Every structure is written in structure tokens, then in C-alpha cells.
Amino acid sequence: MGLLDGRVAVVTGAGSGIGRAAAEALAKEGAAVFATDIDPEGLEVTASNIAAAGGKVETKQQDVTDEALWDTVMEETEAKLGRPSILVNNAGIAIGGAIPDFSLEDWKTQMSVNVDSVFLGTRAAIRRMQEGGGSIINISSVAGLRGAPGLSAYCTSKGAVRLFTKAAAVECGRAGWPIRVNSVHPGIIDTPIWQKSITRLGEGMPILPDVPVGANALDADTLGAQASPMGRPGRPDEVADLIVYLASDKSSYINGQELVVDGAMTAGG
Ligand SMILES: NC(=O)c1ccc[n+]([C@@H]2O[C@H](COP(=O)([O-])OP(=O)(O)OC[C@H]3O[C@@H](n4cnc5c(N)ncnc54)[C@H](O)[C@@H]3O)[C@@H](O)[C@H]2O)c1
């Protein structure tokens, strides 16, 4: 018996990192998973991992900023696997850069991929979960809780995800729709987004509040280790375990909350 037997989950950004780990962990607990990503090759790896472990999975290439595609994703999920009752809005990007040099185009791209997508996904999910219920899990970040130099657009996008989540939870509750909505705030997790955000940032721009200027010369592993009192970055499966918990009935009274998984990075010095 799995925690999620009989449930159907949609996971975005499932072709890499946290999304792949979440899709695999949800499937391991018995959920049928509809995995989407803009990157079809990454999706194939995720699908074959799930299938090899005996799980049920369907995939679709999806750009989460494409409004019309969200209806298709939900319709196909329902047709192939059944009514979705779990949505993990995970797909995201991080565009780094100092504010004086940051372009409006990059700002809008950051908001579109990280914020518009969460609205579109949540809207599509609520339309299908009003009857029968569900759990929506939005992946924010510790960058949605506090600022970080060189990451103003990313921090803004993740802060928006945090508060949209709370508004959606309150709205669903007051409307009598049995849908919980929570946000997950990972610290530094060893995935491609973390490795890439290091290289994208400009020279001399620290990307963590507590790391001195010039630290970009350090590699991602060293920076990740410095940032957490536990002395190491987190693993995608450590975030996935929290996602499974929020998807399951074990968290039936946890709603509208921000759950941090950061190895004590934001707990103090
Ligand atoms: N890794 C970290 O340190 C960390 C920390 C906090 C929050 N997060 C958040 O976790 C989520 C997952 O990130 P990750 O660390 O696994 O990174 P990742 O780069 O490994 O995975 C992100 C996935 O999103 C997909 N994606 C990007 N743009 C897309 C689009 N427009 N449509 C559909 N898919 C798209 C990518 O193809 C990729 O597979 C993101 O929202 C990220 O902001 C990551």
C-alpha cells in the first residue's frame, strides 16, 4: 500500500532535478504521474526511471507559460490516467544579474516562467479539483522568503509564488472547495538550476547574502556547502519527500503554508 494509491499527479519541470525526484517519489507511493517539461529528453529519462521501478507514468512536452496548453495537459491527464488530484507547479528558471544592468525583457521572462505558470496551473487544477478535491504544491524557494544579491527578479518571482499560494488556499477554503494549496521553499539543492545560476551571474556579484563578493570564483558545491549549517547542499529527493507528504492525507490540515527545506540555511547564522 502506497500513501498515494489511486491518485493522479501532474508534475511540471519533471525532466530534471526536483521535478524528476518528485515525479519518481509520487509514483513510488502509488500515484499515476503525468510528467511534463519543455525538455522532452529529460522527460524520457524520468519516464523510464518510473517505469523501471514499476510505476505508472505518461509524459507531455509542455511550456508552462503557454496558456492554452494547460487545458490540454489537464484533459490528457484525465483521459489517460484519471482525474488529477495533485499538481506540483515545479518548473522554473533563475535569471541572475545586478539590478542596474537587468533588462525588462529578462524581468518579464523570469515572471512569466516562475509566476504566470503557477497561476495558470493552479487555475487549471482548481477547475478540475472543485469537485473531488486535491492538493496543489507550488515550488517557491528560500529566495521567496528573503532577498539575495544578484537575484532580484528570481526573489520577486518566488515571493509572488509564496503569497499567491496563501491567497489560493484561503479562496478555496472559503469557497468550500476541498483543495489544499501549499508552497515549498528549498534552500540550495544540488540540481542543474543551481549550477547554472552560478555561471550566469556577473563577475563580483555574490549570490548569497552571507557569502562575500568574489565568491563566484568558488564552485557551486563549495558555495552550497558554505550556505547551509549542515555543510552540504540538499538533494532533490529530500525535497521530493516533503512534496509527497503535502500530496498525501498525512498533511490533511496543512493548508496555505510555506514549508522550508533548507538544512537550516534560513534558521540563523
Ligand atoms: N535547486 C535549487 O537550489 C532550488 C532552490 C530553491 C527553489 N528551486 C526551485 O525548484 C524548481 C525546480 O528547479 P530544479 O532545481 O530542479 O532545476 P532544474 O533546472 O534541474 O529543473 C527545472 C526544470 O524546469 C524545466 N523548465 C524550465 N522552463 C520551463 C518552461 N517554460 N516550461 C516547462 N518546463 C520548464 C526545465 O527544462 C527543467 O527540467 C524551480 O522552480 C526552482 O526555482 C530550486
> Which residue's CA is minimally distant from atom 40 of ligand 1?
92
CB of residue 191 inside a 6 A radius of ligand 1: yes
Domains of the chain by residue range: 8-190+235-261
Per-residue pLDDT tens digits of the chain, which is 269 residues long? 899 999 999 999 999 999 999 999 999 999 999 999 999 999 999 999 999 999 999 999 999 999 999 999 999 999 999 999 999 999 999 988 889 999 999 999 999 999 999 999 999 999 999 999 999 999 999 999 999 888 999 999 999 999 999 999 999 999 999 999 999 999 999 998 877 665 444 444 445 555 544 545 456 777 777 778 999 999 999 999 999 999 999 999 999 999 999 999 999 86
Please calculate the CA angle 59-142-30 and round it to the nearest 5 degrees.
35
Cα 173 to ligand 1 centre (Å): 29
Stated pTM of the model: 0.95
Residue among 18, 200, 237 whose CB has most ligand 1 atoms within 8 A, to mutate = 18
pLDDT in the model for residue 225: 79
Task: Give the homologous superfamily in CATH for domain 8-190+235-261.
Answer: NAD(P)-binding Rossmann-like Domain (3.40.50.720)
Start-to-end CA distance of the chain, whole Å, equals 42
pLDDT at 148: 86
Which residue's alpha carbon is nearest to atom 41 within ligand 1?
92
- Inter-axis angle of helices 104-111 and 152-175, nearest 10: 30
* Cα–Cα distance, 168 to 257 (Å, whole number): 11
Predicted confidence at residue 213, as pLDDT, reads 45
At 181 the pLDDT is 99
State the catalytic residues. Answer: 154
* Residues 6+ positions from 46 with CB-CB distance below 8 Å: 14, 15, 19, 20, 23, 24, 35, 37, 57, 59
pLDDT score recorded for residue 149: 84
Cα 67 to chain centroid distance, Å, stands at 18
What pLDDT does residue 226 have? 78
